[in-house]
Each structure stands twice: as structure tokens, then as C-alpha cells.
Structure 1
Amino acid sequence: MNLRVVDKAHEAVTHKRNPGFPLDLDRVERTRMNRSALERRAATIGARRTVKKEWQAAWLLKAITFIDLTTLNSDDTPGRVERLCAKARHPLRQDIIDGLGVGDLDIHPGAVCVYHTFVKTAVKALEGTNIPVAAVSTAFPHGLAPFETKIKEIEASVADGAKEIDIVIERGMVLRGDWQALYDEVRAFRKACGDAHIKTILGTGELATLTNVAKASLVCMMAGADFIKTSTGKEKVNANLPTSLAMIRMIREFHDETGIEIGYKPAGGISTAKVALDYMALMKEELGNHWLQPHLFRFGASSLLTDIERQLEHNLTGHYSADYRQPMV
């Protein structure tokens, strides 16, 4: 089987973090997005780009390394988080690993993502691995809390061992066009994160227009974001390809202008292998193979891994198994 598409997850990379740049309001105001053009372009992805057989298996193994394995439910418990971390340690059944001959690839998800309350639990459960813990902070999912409270939450998550912080912006700042306020807030969040990487969640389904999405993406990158992320997963409209295309093109423009590589994370509703492959194809076409690495691309997902495991079993046996045969949480 040709699995050259797959690299070892978490292997050391040389990556310059985004230091942040002064807010350029003229640049922000000049930003425009053509929704119709983006929708036409996005509609071609699933139709033109497909992979089959052993190549599909290779892409799906790669996709596992992009997953932020997530539980963000009101009924989360330490036990559930521990089970999620056990799955992160062993994302595939041993018979699938042996059948595909990929035991030497050390395939693991990009991170485990939890509420602040469970950061210590996840850090302990993942001890001895290279899998980082990501915490959602700043009054997730709405972002409506006093500024000082949000800063303290970030600092507490970092102190508990989180290596990545997923913050949420106040959508009202975008809807009012108050770009200075958004810049100042994200800049302060970036400082509070310290060495932990910051992913800025835009809540794109609540920003009204793709131009607003593009402007918010640009402001967050100017403020020092390491990743820009679509959604909390709690909005009525979460990640989709046209919105992703708008954000990815802002990443490309920002890289062209500054030389800094910003990561991208679609989240919410990405639950099937087919959808994951569409997003990977979009990244490959718009940003190139280089961006298909865990430090530059992630999925926010809770059930995606189950479907990937089903597809990989089908690759081996020619049959689809029931979801419950794939051990999860």
C-alpha cells in the first residue's frame, strides 16, 4: 500500500509563530469578498477532487492527525474526558493498524480539546505522549463576559497545562465594525496565552457576511493569532466550504504580505470522512501540501474519528461496520 501521503504526527517542525502586526485599518476596510464567486468555487471541490482505494486510506490516516478530538458538553465528566484521552492514545483498533501495516507511523490526533475544568484531567491522562491539550476559554461559546474574567480563564488554563487556547471573539465587535476593539482584545488574549498557541474562533455563522468573516480573520491575524477557526460548534451555522474559502484566502494574502504562516481550523458539523477529505482538498488546492500539517491545519470534531475508522475498516474488508463497533467514548 502506498502511504507516502502520511507523515508522522507531531514530528518536529520549524515554524515561526505569528508575532502580531500593527492594525492597518485601511487594509481592513479595503477587504471584500464575493459570495457568489466563493460559492461557485467551493461547489467544485467535492465534485472534482476524490481519492479512492489505498490513496483514500492514506488521506484518511493523515486526516486523523488533524483532528482536535473534542468534548464540549454540559454533561462532561472526568471519566468521559479520560475515555476521550484513551481514544487519542489509540485512535484506531489494533486489527486495522495491523491490516494496513501502519504501526510504525505513530498516528495520533492533533490535540484533545476540553473545557478549562477538565484541563488537568486531560493533561494527566495524556502524560507521556506528545498530544497537547487545548482549552476553550474566554466565556466559550458566546464570549460575553468581563474582559478581566476572560483573561484570568486563559491564564488558569495555561497554568493547568494547556498548550493551545481556543478563544472566542465578541461577534458584536465585528457586526459594529469596531476593528480596534477586536484587535486590542485579541492582542491581550495572545499575551495572556504566553507560549501556548492561540486559536481565534470567529463564530462565522453569526457574522452576517463573508466580507465580515474576511475582515475579522485579518484583524485576528494582525493581532497575533496562530490559528483562525470558524465556529464553536454551538451556532446554527458552523463550518462550510464557502466560509472556509474566504478565511483560507485571507491566510494566503497574509502570508504573501508578511511571510507568516497562519493555521486554519474548521469546526462544527464535520462528522464524516467524505467531508474531511473535501476540506483537505480545499487546503491542498488553495495553500498547497505544506499546509497539510497539524501545526497549520486542524478539524474541530467529536465524531469524525468514528467514521474515519469505519472507512478504513471498509478499505480492509470491503464491508462497512456499525458505528458501535468502533470504540469511542
Structure 2
Amino acid sequence: MDQVTETLAPGLPQTVEPRNPGMDLDMDWVRAVQANTSAIERRAATLPGRRSVKKDYQAAWLLKAITCIDLTTLSGDDTEGRVRRLCAKAKQPVRADILEALGVEGLTTGAVCVYHEMVPAAVAALEGTNIPVAAVSTGFPAGLSPYRLRVAEIGESVAAGAKEIDIVISRRHVLTGDWQALYDEMREFRAACGEAHVKAILATGELGTLRNVARASLVCMMAGADFIKTSTGKEGVNATLPVSLVMMRAIRAYHERTGFRVGYKPAGGISKAKDAVTYLALVKDELGNRWLQPDLFRFGASSLLGDIERQLEHHVTGAYSAAWRHAAG
């Protein structure tokens, strides 16, 4: 099944792409950014119907999606046992008999994403793999804890072994148009991360307008973000196709201007395999094939993997199975 095996990248090429170093804040560029909401929504509405793949091609796209999942648990009742089970799932995301039937080996998720307290357990569980641990930080999800503590939290997670830090921006800077404050904040967060890659969570459902989303995306990239991410998953509105289109075009514009590629992570509310394929198709359309690798694209998801596994079993056997046959850990 060549269509399947050719889509899989061996491991995470974290060191292949040069990191975005950022640049000076260019307010002329920021102020010039606009967003035509009606046109964006029309374009997004066409995607689910136009980008349909079937049979072997669908299986290949779903396997690709698995390699780009940040398998996530961010619950108040998380335990080390739950995290260890999640890490086991990250290492073996699909039942061995299904992968054997597809002719696929060595498939893993892109990362495991947890709260800071669970970082040591995740690091220990993933020892010997090249699956990174991502930690949510900076007063996640609201980002309203004291500033010095938010910066310190980043350092604690990096010291504990997290290779990626998902930070939350201060939404008020966007809502009040204080772009210098957002830039300075993001710049300091990036510095605190050191060698760890930083994903800037914009909480797009709380930014008011698509223009604010576009401008916040650009400012965070100017400040050195390695990824821009839609949501914490805790807002009333999380990842959407219109927001994704806006953020991807900001990434494209930044790459065209600077030569540096920044990653994209939609998070929250993506739980169906067909939705994953739609997002991947949008990435391919707007950014190109290079972004269809886990160092530049991730899904923030917890239940998505289960539905993908069910679809893959249907592809192999012709029958749908109950969700309990594909447990998260």
C-alpha cells in the first residue's frame, strides 16, 4: 500500500528546519493586516465538500494525521497512571493487527501534551523514544497569574524535560491593540524556553475579530514563536476553519517575507477523522506539502485518535467497531 507508507515521516525532524528567530516589531506591517470575514467564511465553507478522499488514500491521510497529533490530557483529575497510559498510546497509537494489515511500522503520535506537574511522568514513560513532551504553561488556560510566575513556570517545565512549551498570550493586549506589549511578552516567553520549541496559544475564540487573529498571529511570529496555536481547548469557541485559514495565511506571509517557516496547531473540538482530513487538506492548499510534517503541523486533541483508529479498522475489515475497542490507554 504505497499511498500509506509514503506519507509517514521517520521520527520528528525537529532539527531539520531552522527555528524562527523572530524580528523587530514592524508596526506598519501589523497595521496593514486586514481580514475579509465574509470571503474567509465562504472559502472555509467549501472545504469539507471539495476535499474528500476515499479508500487507500483516506487511510494514508489518517495515518499522516496520527503522526501530527499532540495527544493531550489536561484535566483536573489527571494522575501519573493516566499519563503513563496516554504515553503508551502515543507509542502504539493503533492496534498492532491494524498496522500490520496496512503494512505500516513505527507509527507514533507527534507529542504528548500535559500540565507541568505531569511532565516528569511523561518524560519517564517516553524514555527511549523521540516523542517529545509538551507542557502547557504561563498560567494556562487564562494566562492571568502573576507575570514573573508565568515566566518561571516555563523554566520549571523545561528543567523537568519538556521539549515543547505551549504558552498562552495575554488576550487583553490584543483586545486593546497593545501590540508592543504582546511582542515583549512573547519575546520573553521565547527566551525563557531556551532550546525548547514554543507554541503561542492565541485563544482565538476570545479575540473578537478575524483581523485581531491575523495581527496577533503576525506579532507572535515576529517575537519568535515556533508555532502559533488556535486555542487552549477551554474556550467556548476553539479551532475553526475560518480562523485556521487566517492563521495559515499569516504564516505564509511571514515565510514569504522572512524565509522562516512557523508551525500551526489547531486545538479544541477536532474529534472526528473526517475533520482531520479537512484540516490537512487546508494545510496542503494554503502552505504546501512541507507543512504536512509534525515539526510544522500538530493537532491538539484527545479523542481524535480514537475515531481515526475506528476508521482505519473499518478500512481493513469493512466493519465498524465500538469505541471501547480503541481505548486511549
For 1:138, the equivalent position in structure 2 comes to 138
Identity of aligned residues (%): 66
Q: 2:19 aligns with which of 9, 17, 20?
A: 17
Q: 2:47 aligns with which of 45, 48, 55?
A: 45
Distance in structure 2 (CA, Å) of the matches to 1:264 and 1:47: 23
Distance in structure 1 (CA, Å) of the matches to 2:280 and 2:86: 24
Higher mean Cα deviation, 70-79 or 6-15? 6-15
Distance in structure 2 (CA, Å) of the matches to 1:303 and 1:49: 22
Question: Contact conserved, 1:6 with 1:59, CA < 8 A, in 2?
Answer: no
**Per-residue displacement from partner, 1:160-215 (whole Å, max 9, x unpaired)?**
00000000001111000000000000000000000000000000000000000000
Read off the aligned partner of 1:44 and give its amino acid letter: T
1:13, distance to aligned residue in structure 2 (A):
5.4
- 1:252-263 correspondence runs (5 A): 252-263=252-263
Read off the aligned partner of 1:193 and give its amino acid letter: C
For 1:203, the equivalent position in structure 2 comes to 203
Higher mean Cα deviation, 149-158 or 25-34? 25-34
For 1:184, the equivalent position in structure 2 comes to 184
Distance in structure 2 (CA, Å) of the matches to 1:199 and 1:153: 15
Question: Contact conserved, 2:11 with 2:130, CA < 8 A, in 1?
Answer: no
Q: 1:280 aligns to what SS in structure 2?
A: helix
| TM value normalised by structure 2 | 0.98
Read off the aligned partner of 1:133 and give its amino acid letter: V
**Per-residue displacement from partner, 1:216-272 (whole Å, max 9, x unpaired)?**
000000000000000000000000000000000000000000000000000000101
Q: 1:19 to 1:13 in 2, by over 3 A?
A: closer
Distance in structure 1 (CA, Å) of the matches to 2:315 and 2:15: 31
- 1:110-121 correspondence runs (5 A): 110-121=110-121
Q: 1:81 aligns with which of 77, 80, 83?
A: 83
Question: Contact conserved, 1:111 with 1:134, CA < 8 A, in 2?
Answer: yes
For 2:266, the equivalent position in structure 1 comes to 266
Read off the aligned partner of 2:115 and give its amino acid letter: Y
How many aligned positions are there? Answer: 327
Distance in structure 2 (CA, Å) of the matches to 1:62 and 1:133: 19
For 2:149, the equivalent position in structure 1 comes to 149
Distance in structure 2 (CA, Å) of the matches to 1:228 and 1:11: 18
Distance in structure 2 (CA, Å) of the matches to 1:48 and 1:297: 21
Read off the aligned partner of 1:163 and give its amino acid letter: K
Q: 1:44 aligns to what SS in structure 2?
A: helix
Distance in structure 2 (CA, Å) of the matches to 1:174 and 1:161: 31
Distance in structure 2 (CA, Å) of the matches to 1:229 and 1:177: 20
For 1:71, the equivalent position in structure 2 comes to 73
Q: 1:45 to 1:9 in 2, by over 3 A?
A: farther
- 1:175-324 correspondence runs (5 A): 175-324=175-324
Distance in structure 1 (CA, Å) of the matches to 2:9 and 2:91: 17
Taking only aligned residues, the RMSD between alpha carbons, in angstroms, comes to: 0.9
For 2:98, the equivalent position in structure 1 comes to 96
1:5, distance to aligned residue in structure 2 (A):
2.6
Distance in structure 1 (CA, Å) of the matches to 2:9 and 2:15: 12
Distance in structure 2 (CA, Å) of the matches to 1:163 and 1:211: 31
Superposed structure 1 runs of 4+ greater than 6 Å apart: none
Q: 1:296 to 1:89 in 2, by over 3 A?
A: same
Read off the aligned partner of 2:176 and give its amino acid letter: R
1:136, distance to aligned residue in structure 2 (A):
0.2
